[in-house]
Chains A and B, each alone.
Chain A
Amino acid sequence: AQSVTQLGSHVSVSEGALVLLRCNYSSSVPPYLFWYVQYPNQGLQLLLKYTSAATLVKGINGFEAEFKKSETSFHLTKPSAHMSDAAEYFCAVRIQGAQKLVFGQGTRLTINP
C-alpha cells in the first residue's frame, strides 16, 4: 500500500530564508504526488502536484517541489519565506487504480520575523 512520511512535524525558519519541507513516499507503482497547505480554521488548498510530466513542479505562492524517484522523495521548497507562509503543510500520494489520497501527518511551518 502507498504511504507518505513527512520528516519533521515542526519547521521554523526566519523571514527571507529558504523553506524546505521533506516528504518521502512509498509506492510499488508510479505515484501521483501532491502538496496541500492548511491555514488555521480553513480547509486544505492545493499547492502543487506531480503527475509524471516534468519532475520539477512549480506551484502557487512561489513554492516548488522536485520528484526524485531514486530517493523516493518529493520535497517542497521556497527560496524566500514570507510571514504569510506560516501554516500546516501536507504531502499526499495517489496511485492509478486507487481512488483515495493518502496524506502524511503534516508539517507545521513557523516563520520568525
Chain B
Amino acid sequence: EAGVAQSPRYKIIEKRQSVAFWCNPISGHATLYWYQQILGQGPKLLIQFQNNGVVDDSQLPKDRFSAERLKGVDSTLKIQPAKLEDSAVYLCASSFRQGIQDEQFFGPGTRLTVL
C-alpha cells in the first residue's frame, strides 16, 4: 500500500513570497490533516478535512495560510505571503475515518526555509 505522498520535499523562499505544498493521502482515506512542525517542537494541527469539508481550522493563520481539498482526495496548502516564522516542516497525514482510534499515517513532510 502506497503511503502519504508530499511534494516538494524541500523549499527555500524569500520572505513575502508565496509557496504551495501538495499532499496525496492514502487511497480511500477520507480524513486529511496538515500539521506544522517547528524545529524543536511537536507537530501542531493547522487544518483537518473530512472528504472535501473542513472539520477544524482553528489554528490556521487565515490571513496568510489557505488550504483546499476540492475533490476530497489530494490537497494543497498555501502560504501567501510567507514570514520568517513560517520556517518549519509541514506534515500531511491521513486516516480512514476521523474516529478517535483511527490511526493517522504521516507523509515525509516538506521542509520550508524562509529567508
Residues in chain A within 8 A of chain B (CB atoms): 9, 32, 36, 41-46, 49, 51, 90, 92, 94-96, 99-101, 103-106
Select which of A32, A44, A95, A100 is within 8 A of B56 by beta carbon.
A100
A-B contact count (CB 8 A): 53
Secondary structure at the B interface, as helix, strand, loop or mixed, is loop
20 contacts between A and B (CB under 8 A): A41-B108, A41-B109, A43-B91, A44-B93, A46-B103, A46-B104, A90-B42, A92-B42, A95-B100, A99-B55, A99-B56, A100-B33, A100-B48, A101-B45, A101-B104, A103-B42, A103-B43, A104-B42, A105-B40, A105-B41
Chain A min CB distance to B15 (Å): 25
A44 in contact with B106 (CB, 8 Å): yes
The residue on B at minimum CB distance from A90 is B42
Q: How large is the interface on B (under 10, 10 to 19, 20 to 34, 35 or more residues)?
A: 20 to 34
Known: A44-B106, A46-B103, A100-B48. A9 touches B40 (CB 8 A): yes
Contacts of B108 in A (CB 8 A): 41-43
Chain B min CB distance to A39 (Å): 10
Chain B min CB distance to A82 (Å): 23
A90 in contact with B98 (CB, 8 Å): no
Whether B88 is near chain A, meaning CB under 8 Å from some CB there, is no
The residue on B at minimum CB distance from A44 is B106
Cβ contacts B92-110/A at 8 Å (1 or 0 each): 0100001011011011110
Contacts of A105 in B (CB 8 A): 40-42
